[in-house]
Structure 1
Amino acid sequence: MALPSSGSISMYQVNQELGRSATASLSLNDSAVRGLAGKSSGAIGMSDLRGKSSWVLQTTITIGSSGSNYGFSNTVFGSIANRNFHGRTITYLARAGFFNGSGFEVDGSHTGSWWDKFEVGGNTVSERTDTGVVTNGDTAWNTWAGGLSNTQALGGRTSGTHSLKMI
Structure 2
Amino acid sequence: MAIQKKCIALLTGLTVLGGTLVQADDFDLTIALGEVEGNQNKSRVEPGSYHRIDTYLTNNGPDAAPGRILVTGEVLPECPYLVGWYLSEDATITTDDIQIGGFCPNGLQAGQTLRFWADVYVPVNITGGFYYWGAIVDYNQAVVETDESNNAALGDQVLVR
Give the alignment's TM-score, normalised by structure 2: 0.35
* Highest RCO, 1 vs 2 (Cα 8 Å, sep ≥ 6): 2
> What TM-score do the two structures reach when normalised by structure 1?
0.34
Which protein has the bigger strand share? 2
Higher helix content, 1 or 2: 1
